[in-house]
Chains A and B, each alone.
With several copies, the nearest count.
Chain A
Amino acid sequence: MTRMTTEQAIHQALAEEMQRDERVLLMGEGVATKRPDLVQDFGATRVRNTPLAEAIVAGTAVGAAASGLRPVVDLLFAPFLAYAMDALVNSAGKLRYLSGGQFEFPLVAMSMTGSGWCVGAQHNHNLEAMFAHAPGLKVVMPSTAADFKGLLKAAIRDDNPVVFFTDLGLLHQEGEVPDVADHVVPLGLAAVRRVGADVTLVSYAKTVGVCLQAAEQLQAQGIAAEVIDLRTLKPLDETTVLRSLRKTGRLVVVTEASGLCGMAAELAALAATRAFDVLRAPVVRLTGPDAPGASSWVLEQAALPTVEAVVEAVQGMLVEVAVGREALAAS
């Protein structure tokens, strides 16, 4: 294992994949400036600064992907994806299908989002659900350095368009990354970060940490929370979530993104449609508010689901259990 930050893990993934496959190229506003070692190792042809024009950067990736290259584009902050929407949603996501399968679009569109930098809603907008809702795309949003590396490598190797989100609050967070020659984490598999039988906490990105802390506190109260890190939002690993629900019968979904039609809605819907018979309590959604991100530190913080809120939600769900236990203890 090697300890490294998310940023370093991403960089390693890019370097390794460019080394492995010469069809991989990196494009974006400042990618060459920010990664001079890649320019040196792979040449200015494969590491390209672009004009400030997300629509053509993304569109060029789509055209290149369908023509034999495997582009990775860095689109910087998630709200800028608004300019890349046609390329990603209407072209990359639809033209394989509309053409009857004539084209493949092996491309990765990277962007950052999330609270932590006080930059406000035009830089901080957790809009991953918009891409999950769009057909033909895959969506990834890891939470650990190892996954950033392994999932980015898998995304680059995937023959489908992948939108890869980096929670900017995790950029400088360190984690252990396996030292194996080729650390690849397959898309579409959630990770059970902590095993528990009383309640299932489902999350992804920065809020996985919130769930883990909450689980720690709950443990002290004798409540065993299972924590699932989705990692890939699309395709969604329903199996892992449902397996956990069959065990716990309780679901709390925790996301920084807002709730309405968000991933939290999808998870709650999954429970309501496919795990109803095992559910023992109302599902709880703890999400960011349905409001743009504010810049002010206190407002940015106030928008986040907290450890306390998770703990409280779980306690609320388990009231009957606790009451039951007390009764047992008293008897």
Chain B
Amino acid sequence: MSAAGMTDALRRLEAMLLIRAYEEKLVEFQRGGAPGTCTSVGQEACAVGVVGALESRDRILTNHRSAAHLIARGADPGRLMAEVLGRVDGYCGGRSGSLHISAKELGVVLTSTIVGGELSMAPGVALAQKMGQGEPGGIVAVFFGDGAACEGIFHEALNLAVQWQLPLLFVCENNDWQAFVHRRETMPDNAIADWAAGHGLPVATVDGNDVEAVHAAARDVVAAIRADGQPRFLELVTYRLRGHFEPDDQVYVDADELARWQARDPLQGQADRLLALGALDAANLMQLRDRVAARIEAAARFAQASAWPDPRTLTHHVYAEQGARS
């Protein structure tokens, strides 16, 4: 690994640590009575690897499990937490809560917690891009799960993207779970890649717990899309280490399977890799963790200090102010 490569790899480790610390703080909040969240614990490498391969001119659509994508994109953990807590300083002024956080300023648009909603809108965002509405050369990435791939809209979106040649990257985080149903109960093995391949676009399947592998694959497909404007499909094989939505005792999860994946924790993997390469020593790692922890503590203070929305604003933002344009 080159020196620059190591710097990037370190940055990716830090991003993953930040996401983990952020979500652990939210778990703590939840235990204290705050609303629950869908954490991406165990899937941080997917977000960090892919989002890091995108540029600011690119657009991202995500779903109910969005924290990692948002933080990887540079979202302020304080404003995210404020949103989860329903406060005015949240990205959506507290209206969204954790489940549909968009941050247009960051290019994270149209987050939907309806499974498949993000897939239904992504071709439109890519079409606007293709028709000159976005920044020149921008592409669109849509994140969704293995469960979303069971919704018919998944196929409709793939077909439209292929047929209309849209600059759209489909990123499926196959984490083996669809809320309380194991993937194996819902589809054949390897189904997702097979289904996507049936649509005739290039499909790659990558270890979603190896952030460097994810990043390399994402860099390649992003470059390819930027070059030819055609859609691509990336399947990231990963695992949901915590429950579906906090709190979740996971009694329904096979303990051996969980243990196998815990042993493949993407943060540990990246740390081990960098320790082995000498890019990091135990002290550096400790420093990283401390820095991240400090950011999250500050974020938590910010969020908790943020005001509640004014109930008199209840019906603001239902409609765009301006009725008819001329």
Contact = CB atoms under 8 A, between A and B. Distances in A.
Interface stretch (B44-52, B70-78, B155-163): B155-163
A16 interface: no
Contacts of B178: 29, 51-52
A106 to B, nearest CB: 8
Contacts of B315: 289-291
A69 B324 contact: no
Nearest to B185: A49
A303 interface: yes
A48 B127 CA distance: 12
A112 interface: no
Given A55-B156, A65-B124, A122 B113 contact: yes
A200 B109 CA distance: 47
Contacts of A100: 90-96, 317
B88 to A, nearest CB: 9
Interface string B161-182: 0011000000000000011110
Interface in B105-126: 109-117, 119-126
B321 to A, nearest CB: 8
Most buried by B among A48, A71, A80, A122: A122
Nearest to B313: A299
Interface stretch (B14-22, B129-137, B213-221): B129-137
B326 interface: yes
B181 A29 contact: yes
Contacts of A98: 92, 95-96, 100
B128 A55 contact: no
A117 interface: yes
Interface stretch (A151-159, A206-214, A259-267): A151-159
A90 interface: yes
Contacts of A135: 318
Nearest to B310: A298
A83 B112 CA distance: 14
Given A56-B157, A96-B317, A118-B35, A186 B323 contact: yes
A58 B185 CA distance: 18
A91 B110 CA distance: 8
Contacts of B91: 99-100
B42 interface: no
A105 B318 CA distance: 11
B61 to A, nearest CB: 8
Contacts of B326: 157
B151 to A, nearest CB: 5
Interface string A287-330: 00111101111110111000000000000000000000000000
B269 interface: no
Interface in A111-147: 117-120, 122-123, 135-136, 138
A105 B124 CA distance: 12
B159 A295 contact: no
B186 interface: yes
Contacts of A222: none
A104 interface: yes
Interface string A152-184: 001001111000000000000000000000001
A30 B178 CA distance: 9
A102 B92 contact: yes
Contacts of A298: 86, 94, 308-309, 311
Given A294-B314, A296-B95, A53 B151 contact: yes
A52 B147 contact: yes
A172 B102 CA distance: 32
A11 to B, nearest CB: 16
Interface of B is mostly: loop
A25 interface: yes
A199 interface: no
Interface in A73-121: 79-80, 82-83, 86-87, 90-91, 95-106, 117-120
Contacts of A12: none
Contacts of B186: 49-52
A59 B113 CA distance: 14
Contacts of B318: 96-97, 135-136, 290-292
Contact of B323 (A65, A122, A159): A159
Contacts of B316: 101
A61 B128 CA distance: 10
A297 B311 CA distance: 10
A97 B317 contact: yes
Contacts of B103: 102
B124 A118 contact: no
A184 to B, nearest CB: 7
Contacts of B114: 79-80, 82, 86, 90-91, 122
A56 B126 CA distance: 13
Nearest to B252: A33
A56 B154 CA distance: 9
What are the 4 A-B residue pairs with the smallest beta carbon separation, nearest first?
Answer: A63-B124, A59-B120, A295-B97, A296-B86
Given A50-B160, A59-B123, A100-B90, 8 more contacts: A52-B178, A53-B150, A55-B156, A56-B120, A63-B110, A99-B95, A99-B100, A159-B322
26 contacts: A29-B179, A50-B181, A51-B159, A56-B152, A60-B124, A63-B125, A66-B109, A66-B124, A71-B124, A87-B121, A95-B102, A99-B92, A99-B96, A99-B104, A100-B317, A104-B320, A105-B320, A119-B99, A120-B97, A122-B117, A188-B323, A294-B94, A295-B96, A298-B311, A299-B86, A299-B309
